[in-house]
Amino acid sequence: MAYGLLKGKRGIISGALDANSIAWKVAEKAHEEGATFVLTNAPIAMRMGEINKLAEQTNSSIIAADATNTDDLTNLFSQSQEVLGGKIDFVLHSIGMSVNIRKKIPYTESDYEYFMKGIDVSALSFHKMLAVAKKLDAINEWGSIVALTYMAAQRTFPFYTDMADIKAMLESIARSFGYHYGVEKKVRINTVSQSPTKTTAGSGIKGFGDFFDYANAIAPLGNASAEDCANYCITLFSDLTRMVTMQNLFHDGGFSNTGVSTEVMQKFGIE
């Protein structure tokens, strides 16, 4: 059921790789809620061609941009305003990649070139997006920018390796930039800390399947799906959350505040 929450709003949605991507669901929901938007992803991701289907389905344009490249981002924000016919109201940063995770390198033996690459792609890209948007004055007052993160930024999940540190940086950028952008332009910036979700990025993590089941057994409401996450992002893009900024918002069915569940205790034979 749609509520017209984003009627008349213009957005940029990054990170829709395939139908499992969280960003894909956000785009579908944003379309249902009346927004018009540009889809963006790294030029290399375009080769899969999947994003064309989403563009067709949501009546959107695609502008390729490597989120680590400020020229690409400048082009993205200027072109998007032209295509959409005005300043932007919402942006989704849904970008994450760790070469150390991909290559299954243990955290204590992290390769530093790969670490730097992970920081650039998954955290600094957020700062770069925000800096470019601010420089171009591309976001409307009360605009809303959301990046996706994971709870390993606060608590240790050993298999998340360097991405734990990288997500901590991402969340810090939301707070720091949120202050400056808020004071100057009333633009709000938040991170959503999502449950484990079966996507290309998620499934690349060692032992992801078992961990997914564990988190599901701990969280009183179970794991939040990509679709649930999309719904939450829509509320954050809407005018109903105008005073929410600089927050890291847990969207995890209660996982983050649960020490242990009866279901998990029973697996250890404890009644």
Question: What residues make contact with ligand NAD under the rule CB under 6 A?
Answer: 14-15, 17, 21-23, 41-42, 45, 66-68, 94-97, 121, 148-150, 194, 196-197, 199-202
User: Cβ 268 to ligand NAD, closest distance in Å?
Assistant: 25
CB 265 within 8 A of CB 214: no
CB 28 within 8 A of CB 57: yes
User: Cβ 107 to ligand NAD, closest distance in Å?
Assistant: 16
Q: Which residues contact 13 (CB under 8 A, 6 or more apart)?
A: 23, 26, 27, 30, 37, 38, 39, 40, 91, 92, 94
Is the Cβ of residue 34 or residue 107 nearer to ligand NAD in the bound state? Answer: 107
Is the Cβ of residue 66 or residue 171 nearer to ligand NAD in the bound state? Answer: 66
CB 42 within 8 A of CB 65: yes
User: Cβ 233 to ligand NAD, closest distance in Å?
Assistant: 11
Radius of gyration of the chain (CA): 18
Is the Cβ of residue 149 or residue 247 nearer to ligand NAD in the bound state? Answer: 149
Is the Cβ of residue 6 or residue 12 nearer to ligand NAD in the bound state? Answer: 12
CB 148 within 8 A of CB 229: yes
Report the distance separating Cα 170 and Cα 96, nearest Å. 10
Is the Cβ of residue 139 or residue 192 nearer to ligand NAD in the bound state? Answer: 192
Is the Cβ of residue 5 or residue 147 nearer to ligand NAD in the bound state? Answer: 147
Residues 58, 64, 70, 73: what is their CA dihedral angle, to the nearest 10 degrees? -20
- Distances in Å between the Cα of 159 and the Cα atoms of 105, 132, 149, 256 are 10, 33, 15, 17
User: Cβ 269 to ligand NAD, closest distance in Å?
Assistant: 29
User: Cβ 246 to ligand NAD, closest distance in Å?
Assistant: 18
CB 52 within 8 A of CB 43: no
Report the distance separating Cα 232 and Cα 228, nearest Å. 6
Report the distance separating Cα 254 and Cα 215, nearest Å. 10
Is the Cβ of residue 203 or residue 262 nearer to ligand NAD in the bound state? Answer: 203
Q: Which residues contact 229 (CB under 8 A, 6 or more apart)?
A: 22, 25, 26, 148, 192, 194, 195, 197, 251
User: Cβ 213 to ligand NAD, closest distance in Å?
Assistant: 13
User: Cβ 266 to ligand NAD, closest distance in Å?
Assistant: 25
